[in-house]
Amino acid sequence: LLQLFIPLNNLGFVYREMRESLINIERMFGLMDQHPGVPDREDAAHLAPDGGRIRFEGVRFGYQPDRPILRGVSFTVEPGQKVALVGPSGAGKSTIARLLFRFYDVDAGRITVNGQDLRDVTQHSLRAAIGVVPQDTVLFNDTIRYNIAYGRPDASEAEIREVVRRAHLDGFIRELPNGLDTLVGERGLKVSGGEKQRIAIARVLLKDPPLLILDEATSSLDSAAERAILATLQEVAAQRTTLAIAHRLSTIQDADQILLIDGGQIIEAGTHRELLERDGAYARLWRYQEGVIR
Ligand code: ATP
């Protein structure tokens, strides 16, 4: 699983040992709002994400000063397009997503959304503009309704029904004893990996953010369910500026641009077709994953 560690030192010792994954980002927002990892500037502006162009310019970053993780990363996600990050474990893919959330500030270079440097905008407005679909959503011990709407508690019944339909959760919910009011989690109903992911999709649809982070690895699902989820994810990503973190190349062939990250640098960039024609590291990875080379 992609682990997304959040700086929790300032949240008190209870949380000090806690490692949250990409999954829990949204759940952490309540805490992070009160104790932001990186403080807002006093004159921080509201992020105006309309259009939503994401740009990394010469970004360098390390969690510790003596251990650089990103070594000069530059790329642009054009409004409404999808850029996929692939590469070996530890390459820095999740770090790029964390920096987009501004859990940390870059050491050099800059990250902008529509030209606004992340360091100049409020964390609240930044995080309001980003939706996350993790591969393994953690659910609250509460109702399905709460789990779908907690990011937007003011959502109307009609809005909830609409996102349930668009996330293809209606069949699942119809089978439940109390429908949307069925309890889930440790003390309630067990929910499958695919259903959890659909709940995360429903959340994002309700939040309706212009920017999206997808963790597309769906290794826990069988291939028919996986194809159905991928189709739904494509619907969610359409019209949104999307950064996708992928483990398997088969899920990102439709990306407008694929960035192969290794050792904290982009070593190849292009569409799936361009990268295959180039016959470099991506093409080798592709042939390996397709089982051509064993
Ligand atoms: P994976 O596909 O395995 O999730 P990744 O490409 O997403 O890998 P990152 O999670 O970005 O890789 O990690 C990049 C490097 O940064 C790794 O060497 C990792 O050990 C290190 N790292 C990640 N989080 C922290 C942290 N909170 N403190 C120190 N080092 C970290």
Does the CB atom of residue 5 touch ligand 1 within 6 A? yes
Confidence at 292, pLDDT banded by 50, 70, 90: low
Question: Which ligand 1 atom sits closest to the C-alpha of 91?
Answer: 6
Does the CB atom of residue 259 touch ligand 1 within 6 A? no
**Distance, CA of 90 to CA of 262 (rounded, Å):** 8
Does the CB atom of residue 212 touch ligand 1 within 6 A? no
Does the CB atom of residue 90 touch ligand 1 within 6 A? yes
pLDDT at residue 30 greater than cutoff 70: no
Query: Ligand 1 center to residue 92 CA distance, Å?
Result: 6
Beta bridge partners of 85: 245, 259
The Cα-based distances of 159 to 153, 165, 179, 195 in angstroms read 11, 10, 16, 19
**Average pLDDT value for the chain:** 83
Query: Ligand 1 center to residue 201 CA distance, Å?
Result: 25
Per residue in 66-88, pLDDT tens?
999 999 999 999 999 999 999 98
Confidence at 152, pLDDT banded by 50, 70, 90: confident
**Distance, CA of 161 to CA of 145 (rounded, Å):** 10
